[in-house]
Amino acid sequence: MSVILYGLAATIVTMMAIGFYVAKKVNGDSINYIVAGRGLILPLAAATLMAQSLDSNATLGNTDLAAGFGFWAGAALPVGLALCLFLTGLFFAKPMNRLNLTTLPDFYRRKYGRTAEIVASIIMSVAYAFLLAGNLVAGGYLFQIFVGTSFQLGVFIIAGLVLAYTVAGGLFSVAYTDVLQAGVAFIGSIALIVYVTTNYGITIPSGMGPTNLGQLTDPSQGAYINLATIVALGLGDIVAIDFMERVFAADSPETAQKACFIGAAGTLIIGVPFSVVALSANPILASLGVEAGNQAVLYTLLQNAVPPWLAALVLAGIVAASFSTSDGAILGTSAVIARNIGNIRVDEESTASPAAAADGGVDEGFFGSESDKLLTVTRLMSVPITLLGVFLAIRVSATGMLLVLAFDIMLAGAFVPLVMGLYWSDIATTPAALGSMIAGSATRLVLFVMVPTTYAYENTLLYIPNDIFTAAFDGLPTFIAAAVGLVAFLVIAFVTKDDYPIYSVEKQSNPNIVAGGEED
């Protein structure tokens, strides 16, 4: 245990040191803080995109689901996330990078107007509270098992550490620490599967292996849930605020696209081995006379079945992953609340002072530098966002479910208006976007509170007992809510396309322009 503790301590200290060291690059400028000055080169952009998908939600959720329900239940997480990166590289990275956006809701503002911007921001902020919570859950269990704290204290510790360097360095801190996270995760993943294969062999319980496609076709084997997971992550993650923040931060459209493709490959290379190892976890633990109990199966395996140096390496990757997506979630959500809900803008075209707020105000910032108003408010909003994540982490302690639910929410409410606004712009009206966002989100909310389980986990957050929906319905809400959003958009669009003006995001070069041509 001492080796593991030293390894965890070294990882945390290194992450904090990197995060604080690169914080000086912010230089009081909110654009530096939120999108790293739009200057991430390919290695940084690829590492930060891959790290965003290989968070501790995906790692622990992957292994727990694969061990409990079969290969595809766990592998659906890395497969869905890799699919998202691949589709983004094909269809979204270049056009979205060219738009010179700061946050994803800026797109909805330019295309559909201020009201759509606010609605999209609320949907994304709610979703990201769940994503942040899932990563804090993984960190809380890690501290409980390997450090000896309570689960709740572990959640508070990791939340406080991540908050500290995120407030300091923004996306610069996120991107540079992601390089460490991606490297450690890659080495740890490969080393773990090699060790398990060499020393224990791969034991696949009957009906749970990758060749059992019933897990993708038979509802009684969880097909609805597994397919819903792939779809929610593959499409819903495209409208993830921290994910697109990284796309905006790439130094060119070509860099953004290449980074997505590299990230997709890396996600599969690192993520799928964890699914394979998880299949053998229970047989290995049984042969050692160990019961996993209620603990994360990967943690139990590392604690009992592998040498300390390997456990320390894999855990270093997990704690770094927890830091990685937690900081991105805090940063992205805080920026959306400050910029898109609070309507605090900066003059990004000004050459006089990069730290001059649009209203002329400059606040005395952190670390002795001046900060523009958007930067100051974004930093301040990080605190309540983190506290909300802590509350949800303690209330719903299920990593994989929280990950998928976050992107499920965004798929239902925000995906269709983005795609239509980019690729079917001539019918993409403001009423269509608003109708789609409200109908899709409302449908998902209603089904969430009416179905007793969410992605095979008991709904302990908000469930209304009823005789209409049973656990057999689990997984279908993902498809139903997305379909409702799509149908609502198309119907309203065709009804209103001749009565409402159509705005093009590509023709609006000023980042502060609202749909309709008016400038704040």
Q: What is the chain's mean pLDDT, rounded?
A: 85
Whole-structure pTM value:
0.86
Q: What is the pLDDT of residues 295-324, one digit of tens each?
A: 678 888 888 899 999 999 888 888 877 777
What pLDDT was estimated at residue 258? Answer: 97
Region 449-461 average pLDDT = 83
Q: In this model, does residue 334 exceed pLDDT 90?
A: yes
Q: Which residues contact 148 (CB under 8 A, 6 or more apart)?
A: none
Q: Does residue 452 have a pLDDT over 80?
A: yes
Summarize pLDDT for 67-76 with one digit per residue, the tens: 888 999 999 9
**Predicted pLDDT at 97:** 95
Q: For position 293, what pLDDT does the model report? A: 64
Higher pLDDT, 361 or 157: 157
The confidence score (pLDDT) of residue 411 equals 93
C-alpha distances out from residue 200 to 170, 276, 286, Å? 43, 13, 12
Extract the tokens encoding 118. Answer: 């606010």
- State residue 396's pLDDT score: 74
Q: What percent of the chain stands above pLDDT 70?
A: 89
Q: Residue 352: which residues within 8 A CB-CB, separation 6 or more?
A: none
d(CA 361, CA 457): 48
Q: How confident is the model at residue 518 (pLDDT cuts 50, 70, 90)?
A: low
How far apart are alpha carbons 382 and 389 in whole angstroms? Answer: 11
Burial class (CB in 10 A: 0-12, 13-18, 19+), 293: exposed
Q: Residue 458: helix, strand or coil by DSSP? A: strand
Amino acid residing at 393 = A
